[in-house]
A and B are shown apart, each in its own frame.
Chain A
C-alpha cells in the first residue's frame, strides 16, 4: 500500500501533465541505479579522516593532531578510528577513498566554496542551479517524474534547477492532526490544484517515513535518521534516483581532538549514517553509489587552538555496491613544506569534478558531452576518471 502512495505522490507532484500518464509505465521507467550524495558542510579535515600515515612528514606536520591508532588501509593511508564501518566497507571492496582532491575554487570562503561545490561551475555564483539537477535532467525520464530528493525543506543548490525535485525534512513544529489535514485537503482540492498537489506529496512522503524513529533528531545523530528516510524513498521501485543529505559541523577551528572531541563525534555519526543507509537499502545497496564530498580541506598543520583552519584539498569517499573499492585513489602530493600549497594546505592533485564526472558517467550513463557542458559547465577539457565503478 505504501509504495502505491509514493507513486501517487510522484505522479501528482508532476502537475497536470502527468495525471493523464498511464500508471503502468511507472513500473518500466528508469533503471534501478541509485545515488546518495552526502554534503559535509564546513570543510572536512581530510588529513584526519584519511590520515597519510606513510608520508615521511606526517607526524611532524600534524604534531598534536597526528593519529597513532588509525585504521590502516595500506602502508600509506589509514581511516580515522571512528570510521570502523567505512573500514569494513573498504575491506569488502565497497569503499573508494579519494585523497588530495578539490573543486577549482582556490580561496577559503565557506560561502563561495560551497557554491562552487554545488553549482558545478568553475567560480562562485557562476550559475544558480546545481550539477546534480543537471545530471538528473539528462536521464530519459517519464513525464514529470521527480528524479531527485532533498532531505531538507528546500532543495540545496546542488539539486536546484529546471528539473523538479521532491523534498522532505523533519520538523520542529508539531504535525497537524490528520482530521485537520483532511479538511485542508478538501479545501485545496476544491479550488487550488497547486496546493493540493503539494499537500498530496507531503502526505505520501510522511506516510512513508512515519515509522522512522528520531526523524527529527538534531545534531550529528540526525544523519542516521536522514539516511533511514533516504533509504525508505530510494528502495521504492518507482522512487527517486538520487537523494541529497547534508551534514554540518565540520568547521573545526578549535580543539578538534583525536579519538575524542567534536570531529571524532561527527565522523562517528557519519560512519553510523553510512551503515544505516546500507542496512536500510537492503538489496538496493548493490545498485547504489554513495558520494561524500566537502567544500574544502583544512590546513595541514594544527593551529594554536588545537584545530585546523580553512584549507584547500580534502578527501572524498565513494561507497556502495557498485564501487570498485578496496583501494585509495590519490596522486599523493606529499606534506613537505615545498609540497604544500602556499606552505599551508594539502595541494590538490585531483579535480573533484573529474571524480564526479567519472561516477556520473559510469553509474547514471550521463554522456560526456552533457557532463562537460550542462553538468559541469566549461569542463569539456577535464576528462572523467575511469574505472571508479565495477565494470
Chain B
C-alpha cells in the first residue's frame, strides 16, 4: 500500500501522470524509476525526431518574412538584395506569390506542439520529458515574440533536450548559442560600439539605420533568469560586461538566395550559431570581479562556464527545481541539499535531479503542487491511455485553459506557483475541459472508477470515488474524476 502511494506520487509529481498499469510497475522502486530515466544515453522520442531541424525553421520563417515584405510597400530593398545575390525577377516573383509558405509555416508550428504533447503522453520516461519541459521553461524562447515565432520547438530539441541529464554548463552554452535565444532576446542585434564592423561603417557615408550599439537584453536575462537570479550578486556593470563579451554571438542569417535555392531543391547555406568577429567588442572585460581577456568566442564561453559554476547559480537552480518538484515555497532544507549536490557535481543535472528525488520533503504532501494546464491535460490523456490526438486539439485545449504552448508571455516563462493558475475563470475553463474531454472519451468499455484507480492509486479519495460512483452517466463520471482536486494537483 505504501509503495503504491509512493508510486502515485512519483508518477504524478515527477512524471506526467500514470497510464493504466504504470503504478504497479513503478511501485517496486519509485525513486529508482525516476532516476533510471536520467541515464546519459536516451533516444529521441519519435514525434520529436520527425520534426524538421532549426535550420529549416529559420529558412521557412525568413522566407515567409521575405514574401510578406515583397507584397508590401517597401520592396525596393529586397529587390536590390535580389540583384546583388543573383536572384532573377522570375524567382523573386515565385517567392512573392507562393502563399502556401504561410500555410506551411503555421502547420509546422501546430505539428511541433502536437509532437511535444504526443511525446509526453506516450513516453515511458515521463520524468525525463517533464525535465525537458522544466528546462525549456527555464530557458524560455517564446513564440509570443513574432521574430522568434518559428523557433521554440527546435530550440527545445537542440539546446535543451540533449542536456537534461548532462551538465548545466553545456545547456547554458547551447541555449545562448541557439538562434532561438539569440533572436528572442535580441543578441543578434547587438554589436560592439568599438568593433571593426561599426568603425568600418562609420567611415562610410550611408551608415544610417545600421546597428551601432550593444543590446543588453540577453546578457541581463542570462544573469537574472538563467544563472545567478535576482539578488544573485551582480550589478549593472556586470550586465554591460557580459553584453560586451557576447557581442558578435549571432546566427548565420539566411539570404534571399538561400530561400530560392531551397525552392529549387538545392541544399541551403543556412547554419545555426555564428560568431561574427567584426561585430565583437574588442578588449578585456570584468565580470563578477573576474577579468576575461580578449579571446573571441572563447571569451564568452569562459564567462558562461564560470556563471554556471557560481554559488548563486547553484542556489537559484536548486530553488527553481524544488519549487517545481516539491512546493511553491520550497523548504529551505531541500533547497540547500539540492544546491549542494549541484555545486559538488559542478552542475551535473543527473546528480542534481537525484538530490531532488532524495529529498524526503518531495514525498510528504502528494498535493502540494497545482498542475499547470499543459501538464493537467497531458495527465488526463495518459490516464485514459490516449496515444494520438487530432491535429491541433491539444494546443487548443491547453490554450483555452490559459497556457499557449511554446508562447509564454515573457522571458521568465510560465509561473510555477498555484496562484497564477487559480483564477476563477481558469478553474472554470478546466472544468469545461474536463467535461468536453470526459464526453469525448466516454465509451461503454471505459470505467471512470478504474481509470481513477489506475491513475491515482491510493491518492484516489473516498469522496471522489463516491462522486464517480454516483455520477449520472459515464461522461459525468469521467468529468468528476478529471475535475477532482486530486487529479488537478500533484
**Which of B146, B431, B435, B483 has a CB less than 8 Å from the CB of A111?**
B146
Within 8 A of A (CB), among B392-410: 396, 400-402, 409-410
B250 in the interface (beta carbon within 8 A)? no
A187 in the interface (beta carbon within 8 A)? yes
Q: Collect the chain A residues with CB atoms within 8 Å of residue B217's CB.
A: 125
Q: When the two chains form their complex, are residues B425 and A167 in contact, meaning their CB atoms are under 8 A apart?
A: yes
A194 in the interface (beta carbon within 8 A)? yes
B contact residues, total (Cβ < 8 Å): 48
A375 in the interface (beta carbon within 8 A)? no
Please measure, in the bound complex, the distance between the C-alpha atom of A111 and the C-alpha atom of B146, giving whole angstroms: 8
B144 in the interface (beta carbon within 8 A)? yes
B464 in the interface (beta carbon within 8 A)? yes
Chain A interface category by residue count: 35 or more
A206 in the interface (beta carbon within 8 A)? yes
B480 in the interface (beta carbon within 8 A)? yes
Please measure, in the bound complex, the distance between the C-alpha atom of A166 and the C-alpha atom of B423, giving whole angstroms: 7
Closest to A199 in B: B427
Q: A184-B431, A195-B488 are in contact. Are A168 and B425 (CB under 8 A)?
A: yes
Q: Collect the chain A residues with CB atoms within 8 Å of residue B425's CB.
A: 152-154, 167-169, 202, 205
Q: When the two chains form their complex, are residues A183 and B424 in contact, meaning their CB atoms are under 8 A apart?
A: no
B203 to chain A, nearest CB (A): 23
Q: When the two chains form their complex, are residues A153 and B423 in contact, meaning their CB atoms are under 8 A apart?
A: yes
Q: When the two chains form their complex, are residues A199 and B485 in contact, meaning their CB atoms are under 8 A apart?
A: no
A335 in the interface (beta carbon within 8 A)? no
Q: When the two chains form their complex, are residues B435 and A128 in contact, meaning their CB atoms are under 8 A apart?
A: no
Q: When the two chains form their complex, are residues A187 and B431 in contact, meaning their CB atoms are under 8 A apart?
A: no
Please measure, in the bound complex, the distance between the C-alpha atom of A122 and the C-alpha atom of B153, giving whole angstroms: 32
Please measure, in the bound complex, the distance between the C-alpha atom of A168 and the C-alpha atom of B424, giving whole angstroms: 8
Among listed A31-39, A174-182, A233-241, A265-273, interface-contacting one: A174-182
Q: When the two chains form their complex, are residues A199 and B435 in contact, meaning their CB atoms are under 8 A apart?
A: no
A157 in the interface (beta carbon within 8 A)? yes
Complex interface bits, B433-476 against A, C-beta within 8 A gives 1, otherwise 0: 11110000000000000000000000001011001000110001
Q: Collect the chain B residues with CB atoms within 8 Å of residue A168's CB.
A: 424-425
Q: A179-B472, A305-B72, A305-B73 are in contact. Are A199 and B400 (CB under 8 A)?
A: no
B389 in the interface (beta carbon within 8 A)? no
Within 8 A of B (CB), among A96-130: 109-111, 115, 125, 128
Please measure, in the bound complex, the distance between the C-alpha atom of A24 and the C-alpha atom of B74, giving whole angstroms: 63
Closest to A193 in B: B485
Q: Collect the chain B residues with CB atoms within 8 Å of residue A13's CB.
A: 424
Please measure, in the bound complex, the distance between the C-alpha atom of A191 and the C-alpha atom of B463, giving whole angstroms: 9
Q: When the two chains form their complex, are residues A154 and B412 in contact, meaning their CB atoms are under 8 A apart?
A: no
Please measure, in the bound complex, the distance between the C-alpha atom of A53 and the C-alpha atom of B217, giving whole angstroms: 41
B484 in the interface (beta carbon within 8 A)? yes
Q: Collect the chain B residues with CB atoms within 8 Å of residue A76's CB.
A: none
Question: Secondary structure at chain B's binding surface: helix, strand, loop or mixed?
Answer: helix
Q: When the two chains form their complex, are residues B400 and A183 in contact, meaning their CB atoms are under 8 A apart?
A: no
**Which of A174, A177, A203, A304 has a CB less than 8 Å from the CB of B73?**
A304
B302 in the interface (beta carbon within 8 A)? no
Please measure, in the bound complex, the distance between the C-alpha atom of A169 and the C-alpha atom of B348, giving whole angstroms: 44
Q: When the two chains form their complex, are residues B471 and A157 in contact, meaning their CB atoms are under 8 A apart?
A: no
Please measure, in the bound complex, the distance between the C-alpha atom of A187 and the C-alpha atom of B471, giving whole angstroms: 13
B71 in the interface (beta carbon within 8 A)? yes
Within 8 A of B (CB), among A32-64: none
Please measure, in the bound complex, the distance between the C-alpha atom of A192 and the C-alpha atom of B483, giving whole angstroms: 12
Q: Collect the chain B residues with CB atoms within 8 Å of residue A157's CB.
A: 409
Q: Collect the chain A residues with CB atoms within 8 Å of residue B436's CB.
A: 173-174
Within 8 A of A (CB), among B69-89: 71-75
A265 to chain B, nearest CB (A): 21
Closest to B439 in A: A174
B429 in the interface (beta carbon within 8 A)? yes
**Which of B147, B422, B432, B471 has a CB less than 8 Å from the CB of A175?**
B432
A241 to chain B, nearest CB (A): 18
Pairs of residues from A and B, 8 with the lowest C-beta to C-beta distance, nearest first? A304-B73, A303-B73, A201-B424, A202-B428, A198-B427, A192-B485, A167-B425, A173-B432
Sample 20 A-B pairs with CB under 8 A, ordered by A number.
Answer: A9-B424, A13-B424, A111-B144, A125-B217, A152-B425, A153-B401, A154-B426, A167-B423, A167-B426, A173-B435, A174-B436, A176-B435, A177-B435, A179-B472, A180-B431, A181-B431, A195-B427, A199-B428, A304-B72, A307-B72
**Residues in B lying within 8 Å of A, measured CB to CB:** 71-75, 144-147, 217, 370, 396, 400-402, 409-412, 418, 422-429, 431-436, 461, 463-464, 467, 471-472, 476, 479-480, 483-485, 488-489
**Residues in A lying within 8 Å of B, measured CB to CB:** 9, 13, 109-111, 115, 125, 128, 152-155, 157, 166-169, 171-177, 179-181, 183-184, 186-188, 190-192, 194-195, 197-203, 205-206, 253-254, 302-305, 307, 309
